[in-house]
Amino acid sequence: MDANELRRTRTPVGELVLFDNGVMVHTLDEGALVDESAAVEVLAKTEELAAGSRVAVVVDLTRIAFADHDSRNMFARNPAGGVEVATALVASARIAEFLAGQFMKTAQLVRPAGLFESIDEAADWAVRQLAAVEDD
């Protein structure tokens, strides 16, 4: 991804980085177990890091262990206080692909979402989503 880092923070399950192109990348820790309380904190950190700007979030699920149903629903329905305009999920490991697929199939999303195999591919899509929102 061709962008400069602006800010970063830790979440209960990974690292969250905001870039100057409006893309925020959340890289989940090895073996991360995401439950509803972790989701609440991740959403709060996303809103805080965005500092009022609209962002497209790329979530790297490649090392995740599990995300429960309640957390997946929370992420689907809560765009981090309105700052998250699109979500790109990166999944290559089998469990990550399963969880991302479940999220995409069952969640009642309130914003565009996509499933990708690389962070660069996901970030390119995220930048296009931000541009589409800014054009509206």
How much is the pLDDT for 78?
87
Q: Which pLDDT band holds residue 93 (cuts at 50, 70, 90)?
A: low
Looking at residue 54, which CATH number applies to its domain?
A: 3.30.750.24
Q: Which pLDDT band holds residue 105 (cuts at 50, 70, 90)?
A: confident
How much is the pLDDT for 38?
98
Domain count of the chain?
1
Q: What is the extent of the structural domain holding 127? A: 5-135
Report the percentage of the chain scoring pLDDT > 90.
62
Mean pLDDT of 54-83: 92
- Sheet strands (E) in the chain: 5-11, 14-19, 23-28, 33-34, 55-60, 66-67, 84-90, 113-116
Q: Which pLDDT band holds residue 134 (cuts at 50, 70, 90)?
A: confident
